[in-house]
Chain A
């Protein structure tokens, strides 16, 4: 027939054309990984948006954060339940990443990126089950955290409670903070906020220690076997340090004081005289004992101080009295306090207690014994602890006193440029080498009584929570 050849050729051309389409499609499938891993692939974002991040629980198993799929889009919705926990939990955002505990334990919360076995592969890629992360249980105690949050009542500052001897962080508050449930909507506003809500003051805030430095000077005296009976004249006289005029926090009964008495009443003059006598190198050596050059690490959290050079190479009177270039963080001060009721050893801080792997009902304990940092001898620690108890009974931190609890502590002022911050550092001892240490800083206030009151309340809340 006259058209047969042409029609047959058209059939062949049609098959070739359709075959080429099939081959091209196959090419894209076979080279899919290269195409799919490009940053402009929205499927990567969609996959991330559907990750069922693990929940975060407090030490008693109270649910703090959870993820649920949106009924409409299937995307994961992260919900933070307790405002008191916001500052420590941080945030998780598709757009802005992670912060706080969300960042510290991100890998575990995200779950395995690639399925570890055939069944998981089947679930992920055939049944389209989303990537699912592990649940984690923190050492934080919602009751203590809530008490601390309530006590701070929105004031700008930070608070850390550490359990002794295990170093478990029981409360970690930094204010002002933000609501991670509204992060995406308020990101621009939050980043412009002068209060720096993303800045974790408890871990990164670098503050002059102020009069809390006096405890370290006493430690220096003990380490250097400075005679305890040496008293200093004109102990109540004010000390001028730059533009700052330092005076006694509490009026002592006499004008001649040892440095141990001076610690109780917060008088700077004996410490200034002591520093002159013992020499600033000796004080510098004591600072090295507590290793402020090596800030404590808190598994995954950012603990690098806002002021990296916190220990000047040479210190003088200003630094010795806690008003100079030496700076410390609330976490660091809490650990120093912890060492005073822990035979002189500062425990290594931890926040992660256990994890529950995805698809499992069983919790796996993760806490391991971390080496503590020896700061001083048990005897020295015992003596400083006794002095701090005196502070609570009749010294600078009387508002923290409670007859039913063994509490020691110190309130102190820190002059930072135009502002004045108030510290309370202390501990609550329950039995030998067991209790809680606290460090609290309130920014832009000189209310020592308030700091001591808050410190005492939170320590009692911690003791009560453990008793429960």
Chain B
């Protein structure tokens, strides 16, 4: 590899400028988080010790991550870390406000997640491992899934609730979260090899036969089957929809055929129709989506309370800890976005959406920049699709744009597994974004 000295120097200058940008953005995020913790402390003095600990951990995490990333991935995308730190800091405030008993645990998960992010960035061959051993990862993922089917539990302990967690001592872990990354890695690896075949669809009969060969279609059906299994065995509508949607997006990226998203939408609609007939949980979610008001005191209580929380927030919000989001059952997990809307208002909603948009845009920009390595493209698209679909599913459910699916809002909702996996995804994006000079354009 030949580099000119002036070109190297120019890149180093760019990297230095970028670091300043990241530093300033982190500082602004810190100010935002600090102001909100202070506001929370004023309204609820009892939360001050937890607030202080959480803020110290957040600040230390941001500083350490910034310094470490400067060394490990100096040419990374500098907007990714500030975006996730802002969202996770905001999430800490929300959890501390909604469920103080869980605040310390969420703070601990943030620390663990940041360590995981740095570990992913630091491991030299992580992307290669993901690509080379995709079937091994898939077996591991499926093992986790079947372990959940057999030994799954629910932290709430209520009978009849989905048993989506595995318990290790006092720690609960949701394998479907890990399965998301494995799904993306597997598909990315597979599509990086097979996408030319998918793109031959337009090359006449021969191309179509090639595209429909078992070698091409088999793994696709495998992933589709996985989604169905998640729905049938675990009654986990959100994860099933998430898997399938991400799968469709990746296949579309690989094939370039607009028929894929259209067909995917039709399949989702058909699956919804069948699932509505077969599964109570799906029937419930659709019924209360279509008509929540008559059952506002019963089955639709949660969504009605959510809508009232959003309406109550207005444009400017009620203020930190000055609303009543705790009337929404499980608000700290599935409905954190409604709580945010009530206390930070429409301004807060737009803020979160904007940050998520930036995060996804920057992630997809990585895919645009790394087109010489299709695996990187599919990884970036897949990880962004995961963040996007999961966010839209839960925010859409909370606002009644979509039926409720019971997934977490990345970085904000309470949930260790979710936060850990979300940070790992960002770690992977950071690795993908660490552009080498010979592929920059």
By a beta-carbon cutoff of 8 Å, the part of chain A in contact with chain B is 1-7, 10-11, 14-15, 17-22, 24-26, 28-29, 31-33, 35-36, 38, 40-43, 46, 126, 128
Contacts and interface: CB of A to CB of B under 8 A. Distances in A.
A11 B361 contact: yes
B399 A24 contact: yes
Given A3-B371, A20-B401, A21-B396, A41 B315 contact: no
A265 to B, nearest CB: 67
Nearest to B253: A6
Contacts of A11: 360-361, 364
A25 B351 CA distance: 12
Contacts of A3: 253, 256, 367-368, 371, 374, 377, 381
Contacts of B349: 21-22, 25
Contact of B311 (A5, A10, A36, A40): A36
Contacts of A4: 368, 371
A7 B293 CA distance: 39
A29 B313 contact: yes
A24 B346 contact: no
B392 A21 contact: yes
B385 interface: yes
B256 A32 contact: no
5 contacts: A3-B367, A18-B356, A24-B401, A42-B324, A46-B324
Interface string B48-63: 0000000000000000
Given A1-B371, A128-B322, A36 B253 contact: no
B346 A29 contact: yes
Interface of B: 199, 249, 252-253, 256, 293, 296-297, 304-305, 307-308, 310-316, 318-319, 322, 324, 327, 341, 345-346, 349-350, 353, 356-357, 360-361, 364, 367-368, 371, 374, 377, 381, 384-385, 388, 391-392, 395-396, 399-401
B371 A35 contact: no
A25 B346 contact: yes
B381 A7 contact: yes
Contacts of B296: 38, 40
B399 A28 contact: yes
B392 A17 contact: yes
A259 to B, nearest CB: 67
A48 to B, nearest CB: 12
Nearest to B401: A24
A35 B311 contact: yes
Contact of A14 (B305, B312, B361, B377): B361
Contact of A18 (B312, B316, B327, B392): B392
Contacts of A1: 368, 371
B401 A41 contact: no
Contacts of B312: 32, 36, 43
Given A7-B253, A10-B249, A28 B360 contact: no
B313 to A, nearest CB: 7
B167 to A, nearest CB: 34
A71 B318 CA distance: 20
A14 B360 contact: yes
Task: State the 3 A-B residue pairs at the shortest beta-carbon distance, nearest first.
Answer: A32-B311, A24-B399, A1-B371
A42 B304 CA distance: 11
Given A1-B371, A21-B399, A40-B297, 20 more contacts: A7-B367, A10-B385, A14-B388, A18-B388, A18-B392, A20-B401, A21-B349, A21-B392, A21-B395, A22-B349, A22-B353, A24-B396, A28-B307, A28-B311, A29-B314, A29-B346, A36-B308, A42-B327, A43-B327, A128-B319
Contacts of B353: 18-19, 21-22
Nearest to B319: A128
Nearest to A2: B371
A2 B249 CA distance: 16
- Report whether over half of chain B's contact residues are helix, strand or loop; otherwise say mixed: helix
Q: Helix, strand, loop or mixed for chain A's interface?
A: helix
A200 B275 CA distance: 62
B346 A7 contact: no
A21 B401 contact: yes
A38 B392 CA distance: 27
Contact of B308 (A20, A24, A25, A35): A35
A273 B117 CA distance: 108
A7 B311 contact: no
Contact of A38 (B308, B310, B374, B399): B308
A24 B345 CA distance: 13
B368 A7 contact: yes
A29 B315 contact: yes
A43 B324 contact: yes
A32 B350 CA distance: 17
A17 B346 contact: no
A128 B311 contact: no
Contacts of A28: 307, 310-311, 399-400
A10 B381 contact: yes
Contacts of B199: 2
Contacts of A6: 252-253, 256
A10 B296 CA distance: 36
Contact of A7 (B305, B315, B364, B396): B364
A25 B324 contact: no
Nearest to A41: B308
B364 A10 contact: yes
A91 B350 CA distance: 46
A368 to B, nearest CB: 42
A36 B45 CA distance: 29
A11 B310 CA distance: 27
A166 to B, nearest CB: 47
Given A7-B364, A32-B312, A25 B341 contact: yes
A4 B400 CA distance: 33
A40 to B, nearest CB: 4
Contacts of A14: 357, 360-361, 364, 384, 388
Contacts of A43: 308, 312, 324, 327
Given A7-B368, A128-B319, A15 B253 contact: no
Contacts of B252: 6, 10
Of B249, B307, B345, chain A has the most CB atoms within 10 Å of the CB of B307
A10 B361 CA distance: 10
A312 to B, nearest CB: 50
A182 to B, nearest CB: 27
B377 to A, nearest CB: 5
A322 to B, nearest CB: 54
A16 to B, nearest CB: 10
A3 B372 CA distance: 10
Which of A10, A19, A20, A28 has the largest count of B CB atoms less than 10 A from its CB?
Answer: A28
